[in-house]
Copies of this chain bind each other. A is one copy, B any other.
């Protein structure tokens, strides 16, 4: 039985590139085969509960803009009834969009209790409610996570708090969230360390706090194995905001952190396009780097405005950028446990229920279009052909010997001097390759 929130809503259908129906897919065709796999299985789309269902539309200079029947009335309390109504609407949207996955924080799905015990009990109760809906709809959980940043107890960090009681409280909270994630068959569990960082070094023992974070993450990994949770543990890097500096700055930083604590084979990354931009990287850089380091896990597919210095979490809309992103995903072998999560929020002026559908449809179509372009580039060796040619010299025996460690600095120096090597630069052909990409997008 429908809540009626979206009106007379039907499942969004694929209608092909020429459709002008704003409530249809033009490129996303779940069963269409791309590079030997169904599009749905390639893309593994997930909807983020928080932005679409829990966020009221506020920003630092203004309050709630969205009227949602599941929001508490002004002065009214948040209740489990409202939480269930919210879930009803959420699953209606998941079903209408035909996206196979969703993601959530504990704080998105249940009102905070007066005690942690009560909060956990409510989470478990909503977990049951979700389980029934998942059973009914076939929607699955891409990942669960704990909100360790909104409540004032976390204002100075969760795992990295100066107060060990907060560390403990956070640990207990994460345990409860892993438990429910496992119970719901979650494919991953994500940690975004929104407040694991600092506002000022003047009051911060960075070394100690990073050690706390290392221990916390190790405990999570140990727990996962102990309970037999099969999903991947993922860290989502972000350079800053809300903190001035976040310890999980970017993929390279997270990799160093994992190596420091011996967790590089246990934990992967969930890379968000917008966070890459905020860290001074392109999205494809973060993807390629994670893949090369063996820690590529999943993606949050939401762009940042290039002129805004804060996290804008917008729906993706630039197809050439999507093509380069999915090119790296495909080169990394595609998703295993990961997927494409829209950690994207409506602009706060997009008030209507239909805006929620339309925003996701647009993002989904961009991804599908990008994926198809990427797959064709790979099939044609459009980029990999020239790339192999560019590095072909490294296939020579002497080059291999240098790279494998069979040559010393002295030996190489001797060879260069005796043979009078004078390397001649060759064109990098960047503009040619950019034009090639434009053939596909």
Contacts and interface: CB of A to CB of B under 8 A. Distances in A.
Contacts of A277: 306-307
Given A75-B75, A155-B425, A430-B200, A223 B409 contact: yes
A222 interface: yes
Interface in A5-35: 20, 22, 26
A320 B116 CA distance: 44
Given A413-B176, A431-B347, A168 B284 contact: no
Contact of A62 (B150, B249, B280): B150
Interface string A391-434: 10110101100111101111011011100111111111111111
A351 B241 contact: no
B242 A202 contact: no
A349 to B, nearest CB: 3
Interface stretch (A83-91, A134-142, A159-167): A159-167
A383 interface: yes
A195 B405 CA distance: 22
Contacts of A383: 202
Interface in A316-332: 317-321, 324, 328
B156 A425 contact: yes
A239 interface: yes
Interface in A224-273: 226, 239-242, 244-245, 249-250, 252-253, 255-257, 259-260
Given A319-B320, A425-B152, A438 B365 contact: yes
A82 interface: no
B292 A207 contact: yes
Given A241-B308, A307-B240, A61 B202 contact: no
A431 to B, nearest CB: 4
Given A165-B423, A244-B308, A409-B175, A347 B428 contact: yes
Indicate how many identical chains form the complex: 4
Size bin of chain A's contact surface: 35 or more
Interface string A307-351: 111110001011111001000100000000000000000111111
Given A199-B349, A347-B431, 18 more contacts: A26-B439, A75-B77, A116-B416, A162-B394, A169-B422, A200-B428, A200-B430, A201-B282, A205-B390, A206-B292, A211-B403, A212-B403, A280-B307, A317-B437, A319-B320, A349-B428, A352-B427, A362-B434
A346 B61 CA distance: 16
Given A156-B425, A163-B393, A431 B346 contact: yes
Contact of A429 (B150, B203, B206, B306): B203
A3 interface: no
Contacts of A125: none
A101 to B, nearest CB: 21
Given A242-B60, A256-B252, A317-B434, A205 B387 contact: yes
A237 to B, nearest CB: 11
Interface stretch (A41-49, A182-190, A353-361): A353-361
A318 B239 CA distance: 25
Contacts of A281: 245, 307
Given A116-B416, A255-B256, A278 B309 contact: yes
